[in-house]
Structures are given as structure tokens and as C-alpha cells.
Amino acid sequence: MERMTKMENTKENMDKILELLEERYRGAGTELKHNNPFQLLIATILSAQCTDKQVNKVTPGLFEKFPRPEDFAALEPEELEPHIKSCGFYKTKSRNIIATCKILVQKFDGQVPRDIETLQTLPGVGRKTANVVASNAFDVDAIAVDTHVFRVSNRLGLANAKNVLETEKQLMENIPKNKWRAAHHWLIQHGRQICNARKPKCEICFLSPYCPYYQNNVKEKR
């Protein structure tokens, strides 16, 4: 991650960044196609190390064939693997999805838990996945930190952390709670459209005047 040794963001700058992000990306939401919390949970597990676009190619047919947790729970991993192979890490994902569905059936009456801590007890569900499901399916205030959110928030100075968990903690401190869910999507969209990993489009970025990465790593080299 880029070091920020000079400009560090003030609360005023952070508020302005959030204002501009909201203005540009208002209404942004998850791009994983789903019709209910269970479908979102399975799609999010599949999205690990895979693009949402690819997951969306797989899930319509998958959920048509296996619409309920009970349907997945009855499978052997070898039966599920061919359906999700294109999402990568399909052997591990197959085992985790089946194990998760068995727990949903046995402990939760086939329903997806609403709270982040309980979600994290499910196989294949880490903190990011739990935050995604809780915030998008149940409107729980949470900030899921994926690669886009981690990169963009640290470049913008909304966080200054070396790992995902610390980034999440700092974002929760620097962003009003009622904007946590939306800010997650704003940062993802900004990461996809402008603040790319290898070649960020700083020259067209509307946040450049407030961005420590730009001020310290790009502007001073010009």
C-alpha cells in the first residue's frame, strides 16, 4: 500500500470526500444478483476471488436447480462442483456451501442469520462476507472491506491502515453510521471506475484536491 507521509486528511476533507462520493454514486448497490438473503449468501461465498459478473453468470441456473438450503444440503461436493467450477476454488467453495446449508437447515430452520457474529460461524463466511450479507439483505449498518474498499479508502485518507480489520475500524470512526452501508458501495464503484489498482485515473478524478495519494504521490512528481 502507498505510504502517505505528507498530506493527511482532516475531518473537513473527509466530509467533502463523502459528500462528493454520494453525489456521484448515489443509489449504488450490490451487483450480485439475488432474490432473497439465502441467494445473496451463496453468491457472496462464490464471489471470493471471483468477479461479480462471473458469479452472475452461474447463479441463475444454480438457484433454479437448487432453490433452497435443503437442496444444497443434500448434495455431495462432487455433485455441486460442476455447477460452480467457473467461479474458481470450486472444491473448497462446494464443501463450504454444503456445510453452511446443513447448518442453516439444522440450526436456523433454513433461514439466514441476521447478525454479523452468527454469520461468521458459517463455513466459508468471513467478516467481509458477513458484512455484505447483513448490510444488503437485512439493512444492518456495516462496512464490508474488500480489495476496492481497502485500496480506495486508504488512498483517500478515510483510513490509514495496513490491514482489512483496522481499515474497517477506522472507516466506522470516520464515516457517520447512517452512511456505512452506502459508503461501502460508493468506494467500490470509485475503485472500479476511477481509482484502479495499477493505474488510477487521477487526472480525471473529482476527488484529487482532497486525496493524500494524489497530493503526495502523483501531483508532486509532475
State the cell numbers at 200: 488510477
For residue 103, CA distances in Å to 44, 114, 122, 188, 213 come to: 17, 14, 7, 31, 44
Secondary structure tally for the chain: helices H, strands E: 12, 0
Round to whole Å and give the CA distance between 117 and 134.
Answer: 10
Contact 30, 43 (CB under 8 A): no
The DSSP element (H or E) to which 10 belongs, if any, is: none
The pLDDT score that the predictor gives to residue 121 is 97
pLDDT digits (tens, 9 = 90+) for 59-81: 999 999 999 999 999 999 999 99
The pLDDT score that the predictor gives to residue 9 is 83
For residue 62, CA distances in Å to 31, 45, 79, 124 come to: 17, 13, 12, 18
State the cell numbers at 102: 446443513
Kindly tell me if the per-residue pLDDT of 4 is higher than 70: no
pLDDT digits (tens, 9 = 90+) for 169-197: 999 999 999 999 999 999 999 999 999 99
pLDDT digits (tens, 9 = 90+) for 131-148: 999 999 999 999 999 999
Q: How large is the average pLDDT for residues 33-49?
A: 97
The DSSP element (H or E) to which 6 belongs, if any, is: none
The pLDDT score that the predictor gives to residue 8 is 74
The pLDDT score that the predictor gives to residue 122 is 98
Instruction: Name the maximum alpha-carbon separation found in the chain.
Output: 61
pLDDT digits (tens, 9 = 90+) for 211-222: 999 998 876 565
Round to whole Å and give the CA distance between 44 and 190.
Answer: 20
Catalytic residue, candidates 128, 162, 177, 219: 128
pTM of the entire predicted model: 0.91
Catalytic residue, candidates 65, 146, 177, 179: 146
List the domains of the chain with CATH numbers: 11-28+143-221 (1.10.1670.10), 37-138 (1.10.340.30)
The pLDDT score that the predictor gives to residue 2 is 47
Kindly tell me if the per-residue pLDDT of 25 is higher than 80: yes
Show the DSSP H helices in 32-115 as ranges: 37-46, 52-65, 69-73, 77-84, 90-107
* Mean pLDDT over the full length of the chain: 95
State the cell numbers at 135: 448490510
The pLDDT score that the predictor gives to residue 3 is 46
Of the candidates 179, 184, 191, 76, the residue with the CA atom closest to the CA atom of residue 129: 184
109 is known as an active-site residue: no
Contact 194, 200 (CB under 8 A): yes
State the cell numbers at 151: 485500496
The pLDDT score that the predictor gives to residue 197 is 95
pLDDT digits (tens, 9 = 90+) for 85-115: 999 999 999 999 999 999 999 999 999 999 9
